[in-house]
Each structure stands twice: as structure tokens, then as C-alpha cells.
Homo-oligomer: A and B are copies of this chain.
């Protein structure tokens, strides 16, 4: 539980920092950066909660998420220059964030009795749409639609999770396997420059 919570915090923080780093490129004021940081970190979960009707949305009922994001924002501001020197470590956090967000998204869908394929889609929305929101607000075509394997890793991990629960494996085993799959595929895709074909 402690480790799971720690990973969750790391995931949220990584998403937040990726938002702050993107905002730094755009000459926003410090408040604009704060909003982009929040939108990136909570965007996916917010869209998920809104379309399944889980309102007020999760971050409104949870002081920890807010604190983690705000802390990440302050860290990003103060260590702005240093952050540029370890993009790879950030990418590892981001992959962990993607893995956890995906599984949480699938779980929320299962809780409201949605069909398995919809739950997998919901996992992907949770994992990816914070980044989509960040890019749309910053007036870019979303990176996730152009970058190497990202949303696909989320879909595969989500599908694996649903299959594992169906076997059934114990929930903890299923989620560990699924998170590891998302993180593994994502990191391998970056390492070996896997890409989906362009059309």
C-alpha cells in the first residue's frame, strides 16, 4: 500500500512536471504555468470522471493530489535549468505515471459495470488525455498522436489487466503485471525508437 501510494505520487508528479516543462517553452507567466501543470496532471482523470459521471471529480475530494501537483510545480520552477539535464529520468517517471493512471482508469470503469473494451478505452483516456489537454491549450497538435508508442502501451496494458482479472488472477497480481507491461513497452519503445506507422 505504501509503495503503491508512493508510485502514485511519483506518477502524478511526473505528469505535473512534464506539464510545467511544456509550459516553460511558451513564455507564459508563473500562473499560466501553474494551470498547465494542473491540467496535465489531472486532465485525464477529470475527463474520465466526467464521462462516467463520477462527480465531483476525484481531485476535488483529495487533498494529496493537489499538494503533490503544487509541490511539483514549485520544484519545476526552482530547478528549471537542472530538469533539462535528465529528460530520461523524467520519461521513466512519466511511463510509471502512464501505467498507474491506465490501471486506475480501467478500475473506475469496472466499478460502474462498463464493458471490458470500454474500460480499456477509459484507461487510455485517463493515461493520455492530460497530455492532450496540455497540448490543446498550448496550441499544439497533441504529441501523443504523433509520438512513439504511448497510447498503444496504455491500451495493451489495460487489455492485459482485464484479461488477468478474467482468468482470474488476484487483483494485485493483475495490476502489477499490467503496470509493468505499460512501463516496459513505453520504455522499450523509447529505447529502440519503435513507432507506429504514419498514414
Q: Chain A interface (Cβ within 8 Å of chain B)?
A: 23-24, 26-33, 35-36, 46, 49-53, 55-57, 60-61, 63, 66, 77, 80, 109, 112, 114-115, 117-118, 122, 132, 136-142, 144-146, 151-152, 195-199
Contact of A152 among B27, B31, B115 (CB under 8 A): B31
B-chain residues with CB within 8 Å of residue A29 when the two chains form the complex: 145-146, 195-199
Q: Is the interface of A mostly helix, strand, loop or mixed?
A: helix
State the number of copies, please: 3
Contact of A26 among B46, B61, B141 (CB under 8 A): B141
Q: CB distance B51 to A53 under 8 Å? A: no
Q: CB distance B138 to A141 under 8 Å? A: yes
Q: CB distance B56 to A55 under 8 Å? A: no
Bound complex: CA of A35 vs CA of B151, how far in Å?
A: 10
Q: CB distance A61 to B199 under 8 Å? A: no
Can you list 7 A-B pairs, Cβ within 8 angstroms, ordered by A? A24-B199, A29-B199, A30-B199, A49-B51, A52-B56, A56-B114, A139-B141
Question: Contacts A30-B199, A51-B56 given; 17 further ones with Cβ under 8 A?
Answer: A23-B199, A29-B146, A29-B197, A31-B145, A31-B196, A33-B145, A36-B145, A50-B51, A52-B55, A52-B60, A53-B53, A53-B55, A53-B56, A60-B114, A137-B142, A138-B141, A139-B139
Q: CB distance B138 to A28 under 8 Å? A: no
